[in-house]
Structure 1
Amino acid sequence: MRKIKWLLSIITICILTFTLMSCGKQSSIETVRVGEVTRSIFYAPQYVAISKGFFEKEGLNVELKTTWGGDKTMTSLLSDGIDVALVGSETSIYVAAQGSDDPIINFAQLTQTDGTFLVAREKVDNFSWDQLKGKTFLGQRKGGMPQMVGEYVLKEHNIDPKNDLTLIQNIDFANVSSAFASGTGDYVQLFEPTASIFEKEGKGYIVASFGEESGKVPYTTFMSKNSFLKENPETAEKFTRAIYNAQQWVDTHSAKEVAEAIAPYFDDTSIDTIETVVERYKTQDSFATNPVLDKEEWENLQRIMDEAGELPKRIDHKTLVNTKIATDVMEQ
């Protein structure tokens, strides 16, 4: 009887120990709420970081939701609906210009070029930008990076967006592609995979890349409130390390391998189309190979904003960009 009680005591201790260990293991997993401005193959490294377990390796559970638009994404971040936003860096400048006590800090760059393409309704042989003159151009939302880059590129090709063509900018971001498909506009500025899908379906034809035309710019960046980064430095470092590892993975693997890794995030897109889009973005160096947002890119961003008449005031790189997290991760 005494031996049975002794065995039961040992078993009870083992069960309690296992339970405590399991609880401890569960508590070590930290949840980070991320809001992405849209769902796009353009953000391939982010999905790779999830699918390949780079976040999990860092002890992070990323809750990803699509917030559909820069204004909605920033509102969600400011109201603490998310911890991290993946959105254009221009939004942090808009917030800072309004005098925020808790500025939005860019800490990890994901893409380094514009991700949109110029799509023509009719097939065009020997395309030149001056063919847009006198035509109707269906652009993106005023004040957003796609629209500002679009106008910047037009001006670089001696096209006045206000006078040389009919510019439509009053259609919501999510409805631009359907508006073009229904007959609005001669040309449209589209993200992938929509541009490639339209081409395959004969609804439009890709004739130029805004990313190739505009140069390096911090088009999409992970950002958080300054208070969040100060209160959670280890979390920010782990998050950035996972992104960096994913960026390196994307850079060193084929478009087909990347497409297979991110396919679960694009159920309505064929694997062939995903591969085509990834290859296109890789070819024009759209995916940043490290998370550092450097000063030159920041200045190019503000130059584009200024040219579009959307720069509220010029803000120094070090004021809204934290490069220490990214550089520390890369040096480890």
Structure 2
Amino acid sequence: MIALTLVAALTSCGLLGDDTDDGNSSSGQVEKTKIKAAMLPVVDVAPFYYAIEKGYFKAEGLEVEPVEAKSGKEAIDSLINGSVDVAFASYPAPMLAQSKNAAKFTIVADGLTAKTGHIVVVAPPNSPMKKPQDAPGRKIAITAKNTFSDLAPKSVFKTLGVDYGKIQWVEMGFPEMIPAMERGDVDGAVLVEPWVTLAQKRIGAVPVVDGATGATAEMPMSGYVALAGEGKLGSTSPKTIAAFNRAMVKAQTEATDRTKMEPMFVKYAKVDQQTAPLVTLSIYPTSLQAARIQRVANLMSEFGVITGTLDVNQMLPKT
């Protein structure tokens, strides 16, 4: 479905045009100085906003303007139709598109690697689903199929010998999941932070399966991507990409300090002041490592989302 959406966007809106505009650098230090970046209101992007507030992008000769997107699909679509230059994305979306030749991407910077507690199958206290073995036959809310929302728990269920094929996956947005559990419409939900913490606070939700354990422990979850190919930023502007990456690395190096990230959670991920200190602080990588990100493509291949193999090396910036 993601690939078809991208194909439709490519057909109806056209690919990004020439990168040259009034924002191009006259000094030659970067090919493009003005960058628009599609962002989601999630904890993953806290270092991005920290980099803006601390002037790390400006120090690299970049003027970065965040453009809030309501969903991952909207972020990727805005990248394809040319309204932004970079998009924050959960890795399965661009990888699926790349595997289908619907679009080509360059991973500009790594985003977030999940620690235990970041992506969890939770259930309300009165749910009949108390342990992983109770999951078959139950309704579990996910954001979309063939994403980390179902792939991560499937991997853990597989390791535990649980028949995940009998689970009824129900698609909905994160804001809908807690009310759906309260009403009994679903027996549980696959949540990521800060929704995991919010569900625990609001309805006393309990963890059933942690999606960042076993084969998916410390799994790369998200990153920042640009379109690649003839005339596209990901292929034509290596200095710009390198500058963006350096600013992100500087911010993510400081992201181990909760006192620096929690204000970003509150301001940009819409987490309330009381919840921010409780949110699991995951890993914000400080380097792009093909072998590590390849784990995502391998997981997608394992569960039939990608046919054959996808070489993540082809998605990293050329140096």
Tell me the TM-score normalised to structure 2 length: 0.78
Runs of 4+ in 1 over 6 A off after TM superposition: none
Q: Distance in 1 between matches of 2:318 and 2:291?
A: 10
Residue type of the partner of 2:302? E
How many residues align? The count is 283
- Aligned with 2:49 (options 47, 50, 59): 47
What letter is aligned with 1:210? G
Are the aligned partners of 2:79 and 2:87 in contact in 1 as well (CA < 8 Å)?
yes
Q: Aligned AA for 1:304? A: L
Structure 1 letter corresponding to 2:297: Q
Q: Cα gap change, 1:294/1:182 in structure 2, threshold over 3 Å: closer, same or farther?
A: same
Which AA in structure 2 matches 1:130? Q
Select 1:122's aligned residue among 125, 135, 155: 125
Residues 261/134 of structure 1: CA separation in 2 closer, same or farther (3 Å cut): closer
Q: Which residue is 1:222 aligned to? A: 224
SS in 2 for 1:35: strand
State the shift of 1:222 in Å: 0.9
In the alignment, which residue of structure 1 is the partner of 2:252?
Answer: 247
Counterpart pick for 1:318 among 306, 313, 319: 313
Check if 1:93 corresponds to 2:95. Answer: yes
**CA drift at 1:97:** 2.9
| CA RMSD after TM alignment | 2.8
Is the 1:107–1:323 contact (alpha carbons within 8 Å) kept by the matching residues of 2? no
Which consecutive unaligned segments of at least 5 residues does structure 2 have? Answer: 1-25
**Alpha carbons of 1:78 and 1:49: their partners in 2 closer, same or farther (altered >3 Å)?**
same
Aligned to 1:162: 165
Number of the residue aligned with 2:192: 191
Higher mean Cα deviation, 212-221 or 154-163? 212-221
- Give the stretch that moved more between structures: 217-226 or 314-323: 314-323
Identity across matched positions, percent: 18
Q: Does 1:236 align with 2:241?
A: yes
Please give the secondary structure, in 2, of the residue aligned with 1:287: coil
How far has the Cα of 1:310 moved from its partner?
A: 0.8
Larger Rg belongs to: 1
- In the superposition, the TM-score normalised over structure 1's length comes to 0.75
Q: Aligned pair in 2 of structure 1 residues 176, 197: CA closer, same or farther (>3 Å)?
A: closer
Gaps (5+ residues) in structure 1? 1-23, 325-332
Deviation digits for residues 112-139 of structure 1 (CA, Å, limit 9, x no counterpart): 2374222111179xx6422434433223
User: How far 1:306 moved relative to its partner?
Assistant: 2.1
SS of residue paired to 1:250: coil
Structure 1 150/314 Cα, relative in aligned 2: closer, same or farther at 3 Å?
same
Where is the helix percentage greater, Structure 1 or Structure 2? 1
Q: Please say if residues 46 and 268 of structure 2, whose CA atoms lie closer than 8 Å, have aligned partners that are also in contact.
A: no
